[in-house]
Amino acid sequence: MIQTNQWNAGLYDGKMNFVSEYGKGLVDWLQPAPGESILDLGCGTGDLCAQLSLSGANVAGIDFSAAMIEAARHKYPPFAFEVADAHTYRTDICYDAVFSNAALHWMKRPAEVVETIWLALAPGGRFVAEFGGHGNCGQITKALRTILAQKGISADERSPWYFPSIGEYTTLLEKQGFHVVLASHFDRPTVMADGELGLSHWLNSFCSPFFAGLSADEIQQVCREVTGLLRPALFQDGQWVLDYKRIRVLAHKKPENDTLHGGGAQ
């Protein structure tokens, strides 16, 4: 059972803006150049598309959430934004680069997404991404599992996330035919805004699949109980500091004449 997250673009921009702020560091791995065509896969409300465009690159963005795309179009009218599912998205454009920040862990059929990225890239093109890795938000997931089990709900069955190990993900890339240039799995403790309310904002933004079928009062109760379990470990000096673990990867699509290690789907 997989539920779709119900995105609130206003809450995301207002309280979860750390997502795009951290993503700006990923731009250094991409090194966008003037005139390049770049696809932002899982673009959210478009902030990193705007950041990438400062290099002079031509940027387009896709996202599964219509609410996010509507917000992106409102904020950045010059850019091309499209509602699309990255598992099945196809385009006639051959992009010089595909960029993705904090999105791939929402896509639970990763081999299909890797194929989408491969097909969207021109030969020799590059793929740069950051997303949740193995153990990401592990303490939060454990707390949700504990509290929801008391209601007869399996958090694991409802989880919307895919948090692979670095070996698992780079193997998928190599099987497709990518040359993995750089890959890193690292801890990134992440501070939430608004003090006491920080965890509540996070749960409301990212955890709606866990709460499917519950009343508003029941959801509030679950959030209070989860907050109580997590406070000793994650509430520090008046702020919630969440246990993020991330993967960053840089990979190149091999030129068509490069058959040293085989190739993936063409």
Quick one: pLDDT band at residue 257, thresholds 50, 70, 90?
low
Quick one: pLDDT band at residue 205, thresholds 50, 70, 90?
confident
pLDDT digits (tens, 9 = 90+) for 164-193: 999 999 999 999 999 999 999 999 999 998
User: Structural domains in the chain?
Assistant: 9-137+161-193+243-253 (3.40.50.150)
- Low-confidence winner among 24-28, 221-225, 232-236 (lowest mean pLDDT): 24-28
Q: In this model, does residue 251 exceed pLDDT 90?
A: yes
Q: How would you write the chain as a 3-class SS string?
A: CCCCCCCCHHHHHHHCCHHHHHHHHHHHHHCCCCCCEEEEECCCCCHHHHHHHCCCCEEEEEECCHHHHHHHHHHCCCCEEEECCCCCCCCCCCEEEEEEECCHHHCCCHHHHHHHHHHHEEEEEEEEEEEECCCCCHHHHHHHHHHHHCCCCCHHHHCCCCCCCHHHHHHHHHHHCEEEEEEEEEECCEECCCHHHHHHHHHHHHCHHHHCCCCHHHHHHHHHHHHHHHHHHHEECCEEEECCEEEEEEEEECCCCCCECECCCC
Model pTM? 0.88
Mean pLDDT of 108-115: 98
pLDDT digits (tens, 9 = 90+) for 124-156: 999 999 999 999 999 999 999 999 999 999 999
